[in-house]
């Protein structure tokens, strides 16, 4: 245990020293130099080093490195010392980590009729106490996820919605909606961590096809008001176009795919909708997702014996990139289907071949197995971020924490 603690501390020390040296060098060589966050990184407000000359290296690590680590790694770092344990356990730190760490850590998977489970991209770094979400009061279906929060729906008959953080096992039960959310209804969870807002304010946007009518209504739950409300906007252009799956949120807009290759987009700020088409060769093997911070459609396909992954971008869905895959022995049969999963980074794509989860490293042109997963039924994959974000069941606490933060900032000034 002692050896593990020392090793972990050495790793963090080296990372911190390297970052600080690079920043110092860049500022000297390029006076106009500024840190620029990539799409998968935290916003620049998260990292504003204010390092005093007399600060010890341990304090520097606690202040400027720990918030960028995933929840499971942070739980291990609690064993370094009592001070680290107390610091990581504070609501202030949880709030900051939720803002600084945004990387996809794995997938919540679920086969119809079975409990959900988590597949971690790196089991040493990412994880949760109860991968089956047994802390919830009933069996649930995974519906949507956003920046560390999960939306689940109960299976006991009341169809209750739960918003939870599987790391802390905190959850909130939403009140009953005004409209009937039938089996064809789809949802998208909206949660954007904000530096100066301690409350984990979220919204659940539901697109609800009206029974017997070619109309889609929108109903939104807000954690601020703790109420559902119907949106005045009605979508009357989806006649014959069935919504096929729950969607996701990106930069103010919710997206849902239809079985016919169209996408329904809903602007949350203006409460307006739009419809655009996926590529003509889209299908169940492709996925609409976020890559490089932009909307994209990832589509694996095969020409003769060569597998390729096409990446389309923008609402025009123009071809942006074609990647030739070298999958080795992961596809034993040329007739096997390769499904893209909702995960996109500069160098990593996640694929599913029906028996295992595959990580494809684009630059190295190398495929590695993440987990075996064989099922003759449809498997749903929901991307998950290993965050410490706190589910705010007590709004007065967030107000108090915000006031304490303001007072602390004033004292520093």
Span 130-164, pLDDT tens digits: 999 999 999 999 999 999 999 999 998 889 999 99
Q: What is the pTM of this model?
A: 0.80
Query: Which CATH code of 2.120.10.30, 2.60.40.420, 3.20.20.70, 1.10.10.60 fits the domain covering 106-384?
Result: 2.120.10.30
Question: Hey, which residues does 290 pair with through a beta bridge?
Answer: 295
| Separation between Cα atoms, residue 66 and residue 92, nearest integer Å | 13
| Separation between Cα atoms, residue 254 and residue 231, nearest integer Å | 14
Residue 203 in contact with residue 212, Cβ under 8 Å? Answer: no
Give the start-to-end residue ranges of the domains of the chain: 2-100, 106-384
Say if residue 223 is exposed, middle or buried (CB neighbours under 10 Å; 0-12, 13-18, 19+): buried
Please give the DSSP secondary-structure letter assigned to residue 194: B
Provide the b/e sequence for 323-353 (b: ≥16 CB within 10 Å): eebebeebbeeeeeebbbbbbbbeeebbbbb
Residue 369 in contact with residue 132, Cβ under 8 Å? Answer: no
**pLDDT, one tens digit for every residue, the chain (413 residues):** 434 433 444 555 455 454 444 444 334 433 443 333 333 444 555 545 454 554 566 677 777 789 999 999 999 888 888 888 999 999 889 999 999 999 999 999 999 889 999 999 998 889 999 999 999 999 999 999 999 999 999 998 889 999 999 999 999 999 999 999 999 999 999 999 887 777 789 999 999 999 888 899 999 999 999 999 999 999 988 776 789 899 999 999 999 999 889 999 999 999 999 999 999 989 889 999 998 889 999 999 988 778 899 999 988 999 999 999 888 777 655 456 789 999 867 688 999 988 889 999 988 888 999 998 877 678 999 999 999 998 876 544 444 444 544 454 344 33
């Amino acid at each position: 245990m002692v050896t593990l603690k020392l090793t972990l501390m050495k790793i963090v020390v080296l990372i911190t020293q390297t970052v600080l040296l690079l920043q110092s060098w860049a500022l000297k060589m390029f006076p106009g130099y500024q840190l620029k966050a990539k799409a998968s990184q935290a916003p620049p407000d998260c990292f504003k080093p204010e390092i005093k000359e007399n600060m010890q290296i341990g304090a520097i690590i606690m202040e400027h490195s720990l918030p960028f680590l995933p929840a499971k790694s942070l739980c291990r770092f609690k064993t370094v010392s009592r001070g680290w344990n107390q610091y990581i356990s504070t609501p202030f730190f949880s709030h900051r980590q939720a803002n600084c760490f945004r990387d996809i850590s794995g997938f919540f998977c679920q086969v119809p009729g079975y409990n959900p489970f988590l597949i971690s991209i790196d089991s040493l770094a990412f994880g949760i106490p109860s991968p089956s979400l047994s802390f919830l009061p009933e069996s649930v279906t995974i519906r949507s996820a956003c920046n560390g929060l999960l939306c689940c729906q109960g299976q006991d008959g009341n169809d209750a919605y739960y918003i939870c953080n599987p790391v802390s096992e905190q959850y909130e039960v939403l009140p009953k909606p005004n409209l009937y959310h039938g089996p064809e209804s789809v949802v998208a969870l909206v949660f954007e961590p904000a530096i100066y807002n301690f409350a984990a304010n979220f919204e659940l946007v539901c697109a609800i096809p009206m029974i017997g009518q070619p109309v889609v209504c929108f109903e939104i739950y807000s954690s601020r008001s703790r109420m559902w409300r119907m949106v005045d906007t009605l979508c009357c252009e989806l006649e014959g176009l069935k919504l096929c799956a729950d969607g996701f949120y990106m930069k103010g807009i919710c997206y849902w795919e239809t079985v016919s290759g169209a996408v329904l987009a809903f602007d949350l700020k203006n409460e307006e909708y739009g419809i655009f088409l996926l590529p003509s060769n889209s299908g169940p093997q492709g996925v609409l997702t976020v890559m490089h911070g932009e909307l994209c459609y990832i589509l694996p396909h095969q020409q003769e014996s060569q597998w390729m992954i096409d990446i389309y971008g923008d609402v025009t869905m123009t071809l942006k990139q074609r990647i030739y895959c070298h999958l080795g022995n992961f596809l034993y049969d040329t007739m096997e289907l390769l499904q893209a999963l909702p995960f996109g980074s500069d160098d990593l794509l996640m694929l599913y071949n029906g028996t295992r989860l595959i990580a494809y490293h684009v630059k190295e042109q190398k495929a590695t197995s993440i987990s075996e997963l064989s099922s003759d039924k449809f498997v749903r994959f929901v991307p998950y971020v290993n965050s410490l974000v706190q589910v705010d069941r007590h709004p007065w606490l967030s107000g108090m924490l915000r006031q304490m933060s303001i007072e602390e900032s004033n004292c520093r000034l």
